[in-house]
Every structure is written in structure tokens, then in C-alpha cells.
Structure 1
Amino acid sequence: MNSFTVSKTPIEGLIVIEPKVYNDTRGFFMESYNKESFAKLGLNMQFVQDNHIKSRIGVLRGIHYQRKFSQGRLVRVIKGKVYDVAVDLRKESPTFGKWYGIELSAENKKMFYIPENFGHAFLTLEDDSEVLCKTTNVYHPSLKRESYIMMLIWR
């Protein structure tokens, strides 16, 4: 039996992953990533960097993207709650410019896989929310872009 349930979204490549959570009197246990289990589900990404982000309530981070050395991301929340959004920036895609959003929280334990060539942002819905983000490419500060136009549309 796999430790994860995968749900597709209306945008090809964006995936919601729900881990199997084992609760007992001590608390809970879950795998947040298992290369072998992910591969069995057809998720063959190679992560090279982990990021830990803490934000106050109402903070909007993004929309971030790197054209060169694009980053795929596996996003989850370990404290609090965020509204997480991915924007399709693949020019050849039938969903180019479309976005999908999902609420991620420490409570629901859902994870959101965002492949390369997508913009990524989140809005914190609770104070001191903490987000963990695994990436398929390292962060290149000189290549990072933020779409201020998309941020204005968000607001």
C-alpha cells in the first residue's frame, strides 16, 4: 500500500498529494516524501534544495519564478495555513496563463506539487505560518523574477 494519495488538478502537471497519517496517543507519524513511493505514483522529480519560510498573517509571497534553471516545487505547511497558487507559464500549454489555488495547512497536511515553468505564490491565512518547499533546482537570486502585474491582479 502506498503512503500517498494523488489528485490531479484542472491544469496538467499540478498535483495535490495527501500523505497517509498514522495517529495514536503519542501524536502522529507521516512520510512527507519517499522517493520510491513517489516513483510508483509516476512522480519522478529529483529534489536538490529544501526551503523553510515563516510569515505573518496576510503576507503575500510571490509570484516567483526562474525562467532559466526553473524550479519544480513540493510545498507543504507545517504550522498555520496558506492559500497556495501556481500559474502556468508554459507558452505551449493550452492552460498558459491559467492558475490553480489550494488551501494548505498543518491540519490538512496536503502537499502541492508544482512542476517547472510555473509561477508560485502563497498568501498566509494564519499568523506565523510555516511553509516547507522542496525544489528541483537551486535558488539563483540573479535569475529570480517576481511578477508584479500578477501580484496586482491577486490583490
Structure 2
Amino acid sequence: MNELINQAQAALLSGDLTRARGHLAQVIQQEPLNVLAWLMLSEVIHEPERQRECLQRVLALEPQNQTAQKRLAALDQPTAVIQVAQPATPSKPRQPQPPQLAIAPQPLASAKMQPISIISIGVALLILLIIAIVVLRGLPETTDAQSQIVEGFITFIHKRV
């Protein structure tokens, strides 16, 4: 099973999400309680609802899994919707104008990152770091060892953030 996880991680790192999904599906089919496989699957699926299902499965298996909690919270954050303003019916012909944005853009120099954005970036970097280390070192045989590695990285990242 560890070999399939390693292959999924290698596929993920190489950008082959289809192959990664295939390997993870095999792992989950054989080990439906594999938290790492569910967590990784949530990374390689594009549909938010399916990502949510994977993360909820992780939390059902490990209610205190902070990575899943943070990713689920990020999925639940409403995204900004850009609306195009509809012009009033003109009495005389007008020159076409570009659509107006409902949200005013902020200059990059004065824009502040929202805390959730920083957390999301931190979680993404953490997951990539875990995947890279696991690929380089190989996946530990026991789930306890796997959990210790993940908890160590989470603790390390929390100290940095």
C-alpha cells in the first residue's frame, strides 16, 4: 500500500493529477480508513464538493486533523463575485463602455493579505513539504509514524506562522 501512496505522491509532484487520483483510488478501495490517502485525494480533485467529501471523511476518521479542518474552512469561505453593472436604458446612443466591477481593485502595494490567505498558503506549503519528504524518505509503515510526521510538520509550521 505504501508503494501506491509513494506513486501517487510522485505523480502529484510531477503534475500528473490523473495518475495520482488513480493510485489514491486504489489505496482507498483497499484501505477505506487510510487518512493520508483521503487527504491527498482532496488535493488532486478539482470539484469543491468532492474535495469537501474527502475532507469530511478525514475528519470522521481523525476529528482533530488540523490540515483537514483548515482546508474545509477554506472551502467554506465565500468567494468574491464580480458583477457587471447593467447600464440604464439610454435616451440617446452612447459609446460602448467597459463593464464596471462591483468590487474595486486595490493597488498591490497597499493590499493586505487576509489571514485565511496566509493560512491557506501555509497549509499548501505544508502539504507539499510532507509529500516531498515522504517521497524522498519513503512512507513509514505504521499510521502512528505517519501521524507523528504530519504533526511534527504542523507544529513546525505553526511556530513559523
TM-score range for the pair, normalised by the shorter chain length: under 0.3
Give the number of the structure with larger relative contact order, counting CA–CA contacts within 8 Å between residues 6 or more apart.
1
TM-score (normalizing by structure 2): 0.20
Which structure has the greater CA radius of gyration? 2
Under a length normalisation based on structure 1, what TM-score does the superposition of the two structures give?
Answer: 0.20
By percentage of residues, which structure has more helix?
2
Which has the larger strand fraction? 1
